[in-house]
Structure 1
């Protein structure tokens, strides 16, 4: 089996570091994939070696949110985002109690984001979507009240996400995590003030609509992420992902846009600070 498809093997660290540091603005350092997991220290060290010097750790459920805050407190390079994931929200017998804990965690000074929240029509069936939408609205309100960045998960729910955003209004700063739409949807999000975050999916062979979206996005609205351990960029699709693989995505992004890599790295780094309320 080729190493790039071996689910038990991390890909090699890229030989060439990025010319300017960037931020992985969406990562799950706590999630194992097929039994593999780097320690936080190893994940941060490998990332820093190639110019990925900061990470936003996202907690998607109560244990994950607690872990994200603890990890951000222990590591200067890490800040946290906390929320009940759209697929997690309908699973709580007492949603209000679960959300109350998220609200308390979100107030921590190492938490920069409320998310990932949003809508997922791929994994959650019709009977859970009302709770998803309710949870989404509650998280939007929380981001506004705490002046935190809203991080949106959108899977097979483009128009419904925009309907919610239009109905309640977005917070000052919001990110479309792992942007998955085409150029028209990109424009619709950008018109409403969103930052678009691109993951390893933009490198996939069948992702031309996503590359078209990247090409039309203004340079000052583009972010990069891994969603690690998922969405590993080409040529290692199928293996566990980690922040140290961001250079593969960044180089493809620069190529698609016709941008100088150093210029794009500078922009992505500055955009991340703007999107998440300042440097850390």
Structure 2
């Protein structure tokens, strides 16, 4: 998650919102795709991050999503403030469930400030709320964190695993350049019953290993990228009952809109690309993915 600045949402749920830097990107939101006939859920998004030349409020995000058959969103936190935002959004919006955590890249920062244990305690408190249905995103990231920060990442990851078990909720894993280390940690400590690899980034061999362990694999818009054959190979070997779909909005906008602002209403593009790769009818895949999502996180109506 890369963001800067603060501001209000305009929907009254919290004053914690961040604004993503433009970085020379095309800031126009893409046109809405044709609606899905069978509704699905966005397994992972960051709707507290404003993006685009006309940023969308949470209510606008959810309405656009619903208009194309995206019935709900699991919004994921990465620090204390965003996790609180996610929990509040879920408590006040029936189409939102929350995941709360300290992101692996933030764990060394909290540790250096002597505040990691306190931060994990806050996540523990938030996880007790009824519409907080996952611990996430947590895991290991060896791309942005150097060797000195890895002990804090491991300590935070293992603490988050324990929280998912304590509260009997799912866990969303962030794994970047640390595939083997994440899998070995889960095997050593014992994975939560419902473990999700958010924005799965491994290859077919890793996908088989995850499926054999009973983990869910969540695929994002980058599966449509030309250079992402490893993700398409991984999708093809993943049992359909273990497949989830996500946006990671506002990041990873699918082709042909790569680089433009992403949002939950663009899920149909990714799901249709996945159905084509699997040679499955999109309605069949949508129904299975929706069932998988509810199995992982519970009902949005509870």
- Same fold at TM > 0.5: yes
Equivalence for 2:156: 135
Question: 1:18, 1:135 → 2: CA distance?
Answer: 38
Tell me how far apart the structure 2 counterparts of residues 35 and 111 of structure 1 sit (CA, whole Å): 31
Asked if the contact 2:77/2:100 (under 8 Å) is kept, the reply is yes
TM-score (normalizing by structure 2): 0.89
**Which of residues 92, 97, 116 is equivalent to 1:79?**
97
Task: Tell me how far 1:279 sits from its aligned partner.
Answer: 4.4
Give the secondary structure class of the aligned counterpart of 1:153: strand
Deviation at 1:277, TM superposition (A): 3.1
Q: Which residue of structure 2 aligns with residue 216 of structure 1?
A: 237
How far off is 1:149 after superposition?
Answer: 0.2
Query: Distance in 2 between the 1:279 and 1:77 partners?
Result: 6
Residue 6 of structure 1 deviates from its aligned partner by 4.5
Does residue 13 (structure 1) correspond to residue 32 (structure 2)? The answer is yes
> CA shift at 1:33, angstroms?
3.6
Misfit runs of 4+, over 2 Å = 32-37, 277-280
Output aligned runs, 1:1-280, within 5 Å.
6-14=25-33, 16-33=34-51, 37-92=55-110, 93=113, 94-280=115-301
Question: What is the aligned-residue RMSD (CA, Å)?
Answer: 1.2
Pairwise CA distance, 1:276: 1.1
Alpha carbons of 1:252 and 1:139: their partners in 2 closer, same or farther (altered >3 Å)?
same
How many residues are aligned here?
Answer: 275
Take 2:179 and 2:242, find their aligned partners in 1: how far apart are those partners?
18
- Given that 1:28 and 1:58 are in contact with CA atoms closer than 8 Å, whether structure 2 keeps it comes out as yes
Bigger relative CO (Cα 8 Å, ≥ 6 apart)? 1
Answer whether contact 1:149 1:174 (CA < 8 A) is retained.
yes
What stretches of structure 2 of length at least 5 have no aligned partner?
1-23
Q: Give the C-alpha shift of residue 35 in structure 1.
A: 6.4
Deviations 1:144-183 (A, max 9, x none): 0100101100001000001100111111101000001110
Cα drift, residue 53 of structure 1: 0.8
